Amino acid sequence: MAKMMYREAVVSTIAEEMERDDSVVVLGEDVVGGMGTAGGPEAIGGIWSTSTGLYGKFGADRVIDTPISESAIVGAAAGLALSGKRPVAELMFADFIGVCLDQIWNQIAKFRYMFGGKSRCPAVIRMAYGGGFNAAAQHSQSPHQILTGIPGLKVVMPSTPADVKGLLRQAIRDDDPVIFLEHKALYAVSGEVPDDPEFIIPFGHARLSRAGQDVTIVSSGLLLGFCETVADKLAEEGIGCDVIDLRTTSPLDEEVILDSVEVTGRIVVVDEAPPRCGLAADINALVAAKAFASLKAPPQAVTPPHTPIPFARELENAYLPSAERIEAAVRKVLDWR
Amino acid sequence: MAKMMYREAVVSTIAEEMERDDSVVVLGEDVVGGMGTAGGPEAIGGIWSTSTGLYGKFGADRVIDTPISESAIVGAAAGLALSGKRPVAELMFADFIGVCLDQIWNQIAKFRYMFGGKSRCPAVIRMAYGGGFNAAAQHSQSPHQILTGIPGLKVVMPSTPADVKGLLRQAIRDDDPVIFLEHKALYAVSGEVPDDPEFIIPFGHARLSRAGQDVTIVSSGLLLGFCETVADKLAEEGIGCDVIDLRTTSPLDEEVILDSVEVTGRIVVVDEAPPRCGLAADINALVAAKAFASLKAPPQAVTPPHTPIPFARELENAYLPSAERIEAAVRKVLDWR
Amino acid sequence: MQLSRDALLRAYRQMKIIREFEERLHEEIQTGEIAGFTHLYCGQEAVAVGVCEHLDVEDKIISTHRGHGHCLAKGCDVNDMMKEIWGSRDGLCKGKGGSMHIADVDVGMLGANGIVGAGAPIAVGAALSQKLDGKGKVAITFSGDGACNQGTTFEAMNLAVVTNAPCIFVFENNHYSEHTGVEYAVGTQQDIASRAEAFGMKVWRGDGTDFFAVHDTMREVLDHVRSGNGPAAVEFDTERFFGHFEGDPQRYRAKGELERLREERDCIKRFRESVTGAKLLTDEDLDKVDSETLAAIDAAVTAARAAARPTSDDVLEDVYISY
Amino acid sequence: MQLSRDALLRAYRQMKIIREFEERLHEEIQTGEIAGFTHLYCGQEAVAVGVCEHLDVEDKIISTHRGHGHCLAKGCDVNDMMKEIWGSRDGLCKGKGGSMHIADVDVGMLGANGIVGAGAPIAVGAALSQKLDGKGKVAITFSGDGACNQGTTFEAMNLAVVTNAPCIFVFENNHYSEHTGVEYAVGTQQDIASRAEAFGMKVWRGDGTDFFAVHDTMREVLDHVRSGNGPAAVEFDTERFFGHFEGDPQRYRAKGELERLREERDCIKRFRESVTGAKLLTDEDLDKVDSETLAAIDAAVTAARAAARPTSDDVLEDVYISY
Ligand SMILES: Cc1ncc(C[n+]2csc(CCOP(=O)(O)OP(=O)(O)O)c2C)c(N)n1
Ligand SMILES: Cc1ncc(C[n+]2csc(CCOP(=O)(O)OP(=O)(O)O)c2C)c(N)n1
Ligand SMILES: [Mg+2]
Ligand SMILES: [Mg+2]
């Protein structure tokens, strides 16, 4: 075990996989940094420090700094992947899928199907998502519902440095296209990470981060921590929560969720995206359809409201799900009837 | 009342509103057709014939034929709308939101909020969606779940010529941005349309197209007709279905849905998009949360599978929800327990 | 450079296969048997063939909605393609892709594409892969005069220049994007090549209805790019003989335009005149190819018509390798 | 053309307000009181002011993530902007937008924009609106050297040419996009204007640190565009004095670069030298503006600090006009 930050887990995993496999290639804006400047390459890394040192180790052909052209970045990843490479492309903010969704949605996700199973597209598209920085409406979003809704993609949302390590390794080695969502408020969080160079977390296996009998809480990313806080607090009152960290939203670990609800009969899904057609609704509808007989209370969702993300501290704080709101929702399902 | 096709309802409504209000402007690829050719303007209209004759009536400044540049089209609509015009932009296929989602999602939908309520952006973005033409994975999609999930947009999915008339008129006069989804398999369908030049259908009011006591079926667009067929068939067996045509998915008429489920206790949502984070899940989660006590059976969804849309006739037929699958789902909720 | 008799015969056969493949499709589509949208390449054969005759299986191409010609020229199997267009489960893409999505990665054909402009960035990625492999191979993207206005095409050109990718942007200017003329839609007086040049690439221009012009031009372009000089662009002036898609009434054309094009701008006719005039091949040689081609297409259609149909179970296959 | 004393004073005041607004923000940001990402425009003032001094309230502009200068130059209220950046509910955008999303449609400022390249197509739409209104008004989009590589910018240029929209593309080449040099990211040897020209527009170039160069150039550009000749582009060479965003360690800069820029390429310093040298204004005149400006900024900060904070109820407001 080594202690490292979430962002360090990102960059060390990429480095290890690049070392291991020549076909792994990194590309994105400022992933080298300093290109064409007096300071020179790597004068400064990308803004999240998630590619620091890669250029020095692997050179310009494998660590490709790009202009501000996200469609070209993702498209290039598609072409690299169709040609047998394993590109790891970075979008600086997940909000930027708006300028390149076609390459994600209509290209990368669909090649294998459209081409009758005769191609593979092992591209990883990494992106920083989420709120908490007062970065306002265009730099704070969690667009995982759009991506989870796209057949052909796998979608990963790690909540700890160890999960980054195991899931990113799987993502890079996976033969299907993977969206890897990194929560920007977690980059500086530290945790223990297994040293084993073959430590891998397979997709579609959620993690039970707290165990209890009374209520099921499902979440991912930054909010998972809030759910744990609530669970720990309620545990002191003798209320037991299953806290499920999804890890991947596609594939979804239906089994762990349904098994838990069969015991608890109560579910609260906590998600950072606005509510309509969101992941919380997706999971609650699943539970309503497949664990109907077990349900003792209406499935609840804790999400932001149906609004863009506001800038001011007070507003963003009110917008994002808080431990208080999660606790209230849990108490509501516990108190139902 | 006049009998007209769905596509005629589109073009006649645009023409009437352009006549009435100088600020209404149309733009899109081939909306004139024949520009820069020997045949000349309007030699041929757009491929859906939904702008035929407009150029002749209103001229090049108000009917703007554009290059193949969807981001520029939607962006231009944004700029026109912020400047006090009422643009009606056409994307030939809804699948093309992939190349211009930023302008829809991060611009048009968010201006009013980001700018503190001090602007308006009355843009209408029309687009043809849906399957049934063997147009394969990139020309058959129903991306309304992506759009419905975006705060700041209103999303319309008319199922009849009369609804096109009343809803498109509302869309053009609406002061908020509106996505107007036209099902390509409905364009040639005829129906009675009110003549009243002020006939308007307000947003957020679903239509009860069949009434019954036993089960609630919710749908929109092309599939609504399949639901009606099923309802009519079951009526002969003495089974009563409420068939709810959503008309707008945002705002959503929660009241009509919840009122119906309170009576029937059973719901089947029929939707043309793949299941994950979709509209069917959205509505079923709503019902599970807000009509929990009324539910007698698990809420069901009838959607395509979690795959892209295949080309061959047999495959597309198997992919799209059919009357048979809808009927089976309805019987399943009726037979539950 | 003088082509060998074999090379000439091969080029002719390739063009002819595309032509007959499409003329036949044009007929078959009237019967309603073929589903979906079909965009015929007929008239532009000299471009696809003039480009692809220089390539081997490791060079890669990306195509457009109007992809049959590029696919055939790059080596996709005629029968498998026909089956695909017929929607058979034995088709090149198991009936899942259809006309707009034919691909065969094994022969370096990375896909026709229904999204205008989507191919260009993908080609840059394929070119970057070629650069990494260091074998002097290239990636080529075909784009229409309409596609050249899509943002992705521009971004791709800049990225290719910045990364010195061995990528070639072949612009086939057939003067129309759907029903709109290039004079209207391309702001800079119909000239696509100059716009590409302004992105920092060397550019070429050529008559796309003259196989030899295309082939000679492409030799230069490929020499340039294979030698590590970075990307290049080339604009070929060409003609499409059918509508934008099958069913298009083509009212945007001038009176007699199609007849004139078939008469004066038919790349296959011009090829025949040129090689027989120069006595490189005889009419007999070419007639033989013609009849072989017709027979091959006939056989392909017969096979496609008889081929296995997909079943509903197939819908769920091939979304993921593992899930 | 010689500017009046009043015009000179006004131009100086406008530049100075931007400068002091930002120098002060740079200080205040260190305290942690201001939330979010802030991109300072300091150093580029001559461009915003040299452009906007030609405009009236009906002309429209669209800006970027680095928008304070454009907003102030176009007439947004200093106090309201400061409050916005402070996140007050009395801010220009009620605290919902913040630094990256300041807009004031009433003064023709259609928004700063956090998405690089998003402004250009919006400006084309605003220009089409101006064309419809027929009053000779224009729409101007400001883009950086980085934004000029985004597909939207290219599409917008072509659409503007095709529709003959009175749109002006002002490229502010400050040599950096985040931490990357323009020599790397713009494939065509740093030259943005030539690329714009290849889209079919008339283009201009100018020294963006020389107010008079900007102002004179823009007079020509605006004459051209207001007269119905369609869109135009102009590239100004300029400098940013701070990091990409506040907090950027700027290790990509040459040693002593910032000192040299402040010494040799400071548009405000150059303005002062020029107008005092030519005896158009005195140091006294300008010092007076300086102290008035400092006082105004001070008052704005005091007001922002004291201004009402938003409440959680405000989150739900202003998504729709009706829903
Ligand atoms: C992004 C996108 N926009 C629009 C279309 C619809 N469309 C298909 S082909 C076409 C015209 C393309 O013209 P061009 O690039 O000249 O190719 P050609 O058809 O002449 O081969 C259009 C507008 C599309 N498929 N994708
Ligand atoms: C679509 C998109 N991609 C990337 C970014 C992140 N980003 C913000 S500013 C910037 C650099 C912009 O450079 P330039 O256009 O030269 O403007 P400058 O910062 O120099 O004013 C980048 C990459 C973004 N905001 N939007
Ligand atoms: Mg064309
Ligand atoms: Mg810059």
Residue B248 phi, psi (nearest 5): -125, 135
Inter-chain contact D188–C200, Cβ cutoff 8 Å?
yes
**Residue that is written with structure tokens 């929990």 in the block:** B292
SS3 content of chain A, % helix, strand, coil (to 5): 40, 20, 40
Out of C96, C125, C159, closest to residue A114 by CB = C96
Instruction: Say how many Å lie between the CA of residue C178 and the centre of ligand 3.
Output: 7
Other beta carbons less than 10 A from residue D20's beta carbon: 21
Question: Which residue minimizes the CA distance to atom 19 of ligand 1?
Answer: C177
Contacts of B330 (CB under 8 A, 6+ apart): B215, B217, B230, B234, B239, B241, B268
Is the beta carbon of B99 within 6 A of some atom in ligand 1?
Answer: yes
Q: Two tokens at C214?
A: 């295309």
pLDDT classification of B247: cutoffs 50, 70, 90: very high
CATH fold of the domain at B2-193: Rossmann fold (3.40.50)
Q: Name residue B214's amino acid.
A: D
**Largest Cα–Cα separation, chain B:** 68
Instruction: Say how many Å lie between the CA of residue A132 and the centre of ligand 4.
Output: 27
A48, A68, A74, A141: residue to mutate for ligand 2 pocket, most atoms within 8 A of CB: A68
Interface list for chain A against chain D, based on CB atoms closer than 8 Å? 29-30, 33-40, 43-44, 47, 65, 67-72, 95-96, 98-99, 133-139, 305-308, 310-315, 317-319
The pTM for the full model equals 0.98
Q: Two tokens at A35?
A: 């290109």
Instruction: Say how many Å lie between the CA of residue C97 and the centre of ligand 1.
Output: 18
Write the DSSP string, B255-320: HHHHHHHHHH--EEEE-SS-STT-HHHHHHHHHHHHSGGG-SS--EEE---SS----SHHHHHHHS
Q: What is the pLDDT of residues C265-319, one digit of tens each?
A: 999 999 999 999 999 999 999 999 999 999 999 999 999 999 999 999 999 999 9
Is the beta carbon of C115 within 6 A of some atom in ligand 1?
Answer: yes
Inter-chain contact B306–C312, Cβ cutoff 8 Å?
no
Q: What is the pLDDT of residues B175-213, one digit of tens each?
A: 999 999 999 999 999 999 999 999 999 999 999 999 999
Q: Mind listing the pLDDT tens digit of every residue in chain C (323 residues)?
A: 689 999 999 999 999 999 999 999 999 999 999 999 999 999 999 999 999 999 999 999 999 999 999 999 999 999 999 999 999 999 999 999 999 999 999 999 999 999 999 999 999 999 999 999 999 999 999 999 999 999 999 999 999 999 999 999 999 999 999 999 999 999 986 689 999 999 999 999 999 999 999 999 999 999 999 999 999 999 999 999 999 999 999 999 999 999 999 999 999 999 999 999 999 999 999 999 999 999 999 999 999 999 999 999 999 999 999 99
Provide the 8-state DSSP code for C4.
P
Instruction: Say how many Å lie between the CA of residue C203 and the centre of ligand 1.
Output: 23
- What pLDDT is recorded for position B121? 98
- What pLDDT is recorded for position C188? 86
Q: Two tokens at A97?
A: 């899928």
Contacts of C63 (CB under 8 A, 6+ apart): C70, C71, C109, C111, C112, C113, C119, C142
Q: Which of D143, D148, D177, D188 to mutate to test the interface with C (most CBs of C within 10 A)?
A: D188
Q: Is the pLDDT of residue D243 over 80?
A: yes
Inter-chain contact A277–B282, Cβ cutoff 8 Å?
yes
Please report the atom of ligand 1 found closest to the CA of residue C118.
1
- What pLDDT is recorded for position B46? 87
- What pLDDT is recorded for position D190? 67
pLDDT classification of A45: cutoffs 50, 70, 90: confident
Inter-chain contact B318–C312, Cβ cutoff 8 Å?
yes
Please name the helix (run of DSSP H) or strand (run of DSSP E) that holds residue D24, with its range, or none. Answer: helix D5-30
Residues C315, D81: Cα–Cα separation, whole Å: 56
Q: What is the pLDDT of residues B259-285, one digit of tens each?
A: 999 999 999 999 999 999 999 999 999
- What pLDDT is recorded for position D2? 85
Question: Rounded to a whole number, what is the distance in Å from the CA of B47 to chain C's nearest CA?
Answer: 9
Ligand showing the shortest atom-to-Cα distance for residue C146: 1
* Residue B146 with chain A: CB contacts under 8 Å: 146, 149, 277
Q: Two tokens at C132?
A: 């990494």
Q: Where in chain B are the domains?
A: 2-193, 207-334
Is the beta carbon of D13 within 6 A of some atom in ligand 2?
Answer: no
Out of D127, D129, D158, closest to residue B67 by CB = D158
Out of A78, A102, A251, closest to residue C323 by CB = A251
Q: Which protein residues have their CB within 5 A of the ion that is ligand 3?
A: C 144-145, 174, 176-177
Residues C155, A75: Cα–Cα separation, whole Å: 10
SS3 state at B216: strand
Residue D140 phi, psi (nearest 5): -125, 135
Q: Using N-to-C axis directions, what is the helix angle for D267-277 and D5-30, rounded to 10°?
A: 150
* Residue D255 with chain A: CB contacts under 8 Å: 38
Q: Two tokens at A88?
A: 């790891």
**Percentage of chain D lying above the pLDDT 70 cut:** 99
Q: For chain B, what is the mean pLDDT?
A: 98
Residues D80, D71: Cα–Cα separation, whole Å: 11
Q: What is the mean pLDDT of residues D51-69?
A: 98
- What pLDDT is recorded for position C190? 66
Residue C254 phi, psi (nearest 5): -70, 160
* Residue A84 with chain C: CB contacts under 8 Å: 129
Question: Which residue minimizes the CA distance to atom 21 of ligand 2?
Answer: D144
Q: Two tokens at A103?
A: 């390459």
Q: What is the mean pLDDT of residues B206-232?
A: 98
Interface check for A101 against chain B (CB to CB < 8 A): the answer is yes
Q: Which of D83, D94, D159, D314 to mutate to test the interface with B (most CBs of B within 10 A)?
A: D159
Q: What is the pLDDT of residues B44-66, one digit of tens each?
A: 888 999 999 999 999 999 999 99
B68, B69, B97, B184: residue to mutate for ligand 1 pocket, most atoms within 8 A of CB: B68
Residues A149, B146: Cα–Cα separation, whole Å: 8
D18, D70, D153, D177: residue to mutate for ligand 2 pocket, most atoms within 8 A of CB: D177
Q: What is the mean pLDDT of residues B16-34?
A: 98
B/C interface, count of CB pairs below 8 Å:
164
Please report the atom of ligand 2 found closest to the CA of residue A139.
25
Would you tell me which CATH number, out of the four given (3.30.70.2860, 3.40.50.920, 1.10.579.10, 3.90.228.20), belongs to the domain A207-334?
A: 3.40.50.920
Is the beta carbon of B189 within 6 A of some atom in ligand 1?
Answer: no
Out of A95, A139, A318, closest to residue D312 by CB = A318
Q: Two tokens at D130?
A: 């101006």
- The sign of the CA dihedral D88, D91, D97, D99 is negative
Q: What is the pLDDT of residues A176-196, one digit of tens each?
A: 999 999 999 999 999 999 999
Residues D82, D88: Cα–Cα separation, whole Å: 9
Q: What is the pLDDT of residues A57-73, one digit of tens each?
A: 999 999 999 999 999 99
Which of A67, A69, A78, A142 is closest to A99 using CA atoms? Answer: A69
Interface check for A97 against chain B (CB to CB < 8 A): the answer is yes
Residue A45 phi, psi (nearest 5): -90, -170
SS3 state at D143: strand
Q: What is the mean pLDDT of residues A32-60?
A: 95
Domain spanning C5-307: which superfamily? Thiamin diphosphate (ThDP)-binding fold, Pyr/PP domains (3.40.50.970)
Residues B221, B159: Cα–Cα separation, whole Å: 4
Interface check for A138 against chain B (CB to CB < 8 A): the answer is yes
Q: What is the mean pLDDT of residues D150-169?
A: 98
User: Rg for chain D (alpha carbons), in Å?
Assistant: 19
Instruction: Say how many Å lie between the CA of residue D265 and the centre of ligand 2.
Output: 23
Residues facing residue A175 across a β-bridge? none
Q: What is the pLDDT of residues B110-158, one digit of tens each?
A: 999 999 999 999 999 999 999 999 999 999 999 999 999 999 999 999 9
Is the beta carbon of A47 within 6 A of some atom in ligand 2?
Answer: no
Residue A5 phi, psi (nearest 5): -80, 155
Q: What is the pLDDT of residues D193-236, one digit of tens each?
A: 999 999 999 999 999 999 999 999 999 999 999 999 999 999 99
Please name the helix (run of DSSP H) or strand (run of DSSP E) that holds residue B326, with its range, or none. Answer: helix B323-335
Does residue C213 contact residue C206 with C-beta atoms inside 8 Å?
yes
The domains spanning B2-193 and B207-334 adopt the same CATH topology: yes
Does residue A14 contact residue A24 with C-beta atoms inside 8 Å?
yes
